[in-house]
Amino acid sequence: MKSPDRKVVSTGAPSSGAQLHYRLPVVNFVGSYLLARSVLLSWFFIWYRTRRNIFATDFDIIIDGYPRSANTYASTMIRRQACDEMSIASHFHNPSAVIAAVKMRKPALVLIRTPEDAIASWTVYNNWSLLYTTRRYIDYYMALREYRNAFELGSFDEVTSDYQEVLNRVNRRFATDFVARDKNYPVFKVIEEAYQVRNNGIDERKVPRPSKVRNALLLEVRRRLLGVPYRPLLEEARLVYQEFTNGENTD
């Protein structure tokens, strides 16, 4: 299915002295709260922005999560056991897409990454406020809380180190035959080439593969995220991560 990634033509890191934490998109902040709680509102929002229908059924699996949680890696490294032909719904970054898939009894894999890493990476990506990106993390997973037993969960570390084990759990849950591509598969080369074609260049802040340039920016954002102003919200995000990764039954 078509990726909703926006077209980006910037090819470099932010200019010297750029602030990576002060932009607060108020409309997005309110929208995050509402979209995480309304499947119909999310359907309209996603369709309006990307012309993608979260109620479509022509896919084999949905792979979704908060941004920067190995979404592209997981979508690139999966295949069917019998052949490479398959349709993947991914990169919605919206819990309603997962909820819609669950209600249609479609295979669903939700990705999760430690809040410090995921939030910092998405803040660098969008140059948005840490208040918004942290709140969005909490909203995304809390919207899925009551459906926790209806999808499979894959942590960033699991997916990037032993994806087959994650897919084994998916296969047991949904009676599917997904396998991870061979570890010699040039996944980051494939990802970079696809990104470059879509965006007419490489933006090191955003390209979904390891980046030394982005790592330098992440250090400053993580430092701010761990500071006193964001500590209560970050702690809430950590509790959400712990609840999901500990496999607690929330029914």
**pLDDT the model gives residue 42:** 61
Q: How buried is 126 (Cβ within 10 angstroms: 0-12 exposed, 13-18 middle, 19+ buried)?
A: middle
Cα 153 versus chain centre, distance: 12
Q: Which two tokens stand for residue 21?
A: 């934490």
What domains can be seen in the chain, in order of their start residue?
Answer: 26-245 (3.40.50)
Write out pLDDT tens, residues 66-116: 999 999 999 999 999 877 789 999 998 989 889 989 999 999 999 999 999
Q: Is the separation of the CB atoms in 67 and 102 below 8 Å?
A: no
Q: Which residues contact 50 (CB under 8 A, 6 or more apart)?
A: 2, 4
Helices (H), 20-112: 26-35, 39-50, 71-77, 95-103
Query: pLDDT digits over 43-80, tens only?
Result: 566 666 666 666 677 789 999 999 999 999 999 999 99
Percentage of the chain modeled with pLDDT above 90: 67
pTM of the model: 0.81
